[in-house]
Chain A
Amino acid sequence: MTIKLGVPSKGRLMEKTFDWFGARGVSLSRSGSDREYAGKVEGVEGVELVLLSAGEIPRELSAGRIHLGVTGTDLVREKLGLWEQKVETLAELGFGGADLIIAVPACWPDVNTLDDLDAVSAAFRAEHGFRLRIATKYHRLVREFMRENGVADYQLVDSQGATEGTIKNMTAEAVADITSTGDTLRANHLKILSDGLVLKSQATLFRSRQAALSDNEREVLKVLIEQLDLES
Chain B
Amino acid sequence: MSDKALVRARAADIRAQFENAGAQAVETSVLQPAEALLDLYGEDIRARAYVTSDTLLGEQMLRPDFTVPVVQMHMAHGAEPARYTYSGEVFRRQEEDTTRANEYTQVGYEVFDRENPAAADAEVFSLVKSALGNVPLRAATGDIGLLMAAVRGLATTSERKAALLRHVWRPRRFRMLLDRFAGRVDLPEGRAALLEQDDPMQSGIPFIGLRTPAEVVQRIETLRADSVAKPIPAVQVDLLEALLNVRETLPFALEQLRDIAVDLPAITEAVFCLRDRIDEMSKLGVDVDTLEFEASFGRTNMEYYDGFVFGFYAEGRADLPAVATGGRYDALTRVLGQGNEIPAVGAVIRPEILLQLEGSK
Q: Which residues of A contact B (CB under 8 A)?
A: 81-82, 105-110, 112-113, 115-116, 118-120, 122-124, 127-128, 131, 139-140, 143-144, 146-147, 149-156, 167-168, 170, 173, 189, 194-195
Size range of the interface on B?
A: 35 or more
Please tell me if the beta carbons of A113 and B188 are within 8 angstroms of each other in the complex. Answer: yes
CA distance A124 to B211 in the complex (A): 7
Q: Specify the chain A residue showing the minimal Cβ separation from B171.
A: A150
Q: Are A152 and B208 in contact (CB under 8 A)?
A: no
Asked if B191 and A112 sit within 8 Å, CB to CB, the answer is yes
Starting from the known contacts A106-B203, A107-B205, 12 additional A-B residue pairs (CB-CB under 8 Å) come to A109-B216, A110-B223, A112-B194, A119-B163, A120-B219, A124-B215, A127-B215, A131-B42, A152-B167, A155-B38, A156-B46, A189-B206
Residue in B43, B172, B208 whose CB lies within 8 Å of A154: B43
Cβ of A128: which chain B residues have Cβ within 8 Å of it?
Answer: 210
Instruction: Give the interface of B toward A (CB within 8 A).
Output: 38-39, 42-44, 46-47, 95-96, 98, 163, 166-167, 170, 172-174, 176, 188-191, 194, 197, 200-201, 203, 205-211, 213, 215-216, 218-220, 223
Minimum CB–CB distance from B71 to chain A (whole Å) comes to: 21
Query: Known contacts A113-B190, A115-B176; is A150 also within 8 Å of B170 by CB?
Result: yes
B230 to chain A, nearest CB (A): 20
Q: Are A82 and B210 in contact (CB under 8 A)?
A: no
Please name all residues of chain A whose beta carbon is closer than 8 Å to the beta carbon of B200 when the two chains form the complex.
Answer: 109-110
B-side contacts of A156, CB under 8 Å: 43, 46
Query: What is the CB-to-nearest-CB distance from B248 to chain A, in angstroms, rounded to a whole number?
Result: 28
Q: Are B220 and A109 in contact (CB under 8 A)?
A: yes
A109 touches B95 (CB 8 A): no
Contact across chains for A150 and B173 when beta carbons are under 8 A apart = yes
- What residues on A are CB-neighbors of B209 within 8 Å? 105, 107, 167-168, 170, 173
Min Cβ gap B205→A in Å is 5
- Residues from chain A with a CB closer than 8 A to the CB of B211 are 105, 108, 120, 124, 173
With A105-B208, A127-B215 as contacts: A122 and B166 at CB distance below 8 Å:
yes
Q: Which residues of A contact B223 (CB under 8 A)?
A: 110
Cα distance A154–B203 when bound, in Å?
Answer: 27
Q: Smallest CB-CB separation from A142: which chain B residue?
A: B43
Q: In the complex, are the beta carbons of B219 and A123 less than 8 A apart?
A: yes
Closest A residue by C-beta to B47: A143
Within the assembled complex, what's the spacing in Å between the Cα atoms of A147 and B201?
Answer: 31
Cα distance, A82 to B8, chains bound together (Å): 32
B220 lies within 8 A of A110 (CB): yes
Given the complex of chains A and B, what is the CA–CA distance between A151 and B39 in angstroms? 15
User: Does the CB pair B190–A112 fall under 8 Å?
Assistant: yes
| Residues in chain A near residue B39, CB distance under 8 A | 131
Between A and B, 26 residue pairs with Cβ closer than 8 Å are A81-B96, A82-B95, A82-B98, A105-B209, A105-B211, A106-B205, A107-B209, A109-B220, A110-B194, A110-B216, A112-B191, A113-B190, A115-B176, A119-B219, A128-B210, A139-B46, A150-B172, A152-B42, A152-B170, A154-B43, A156-B43, A170-B210, A173-B211, A189-B205, A189-B208, A194-B189
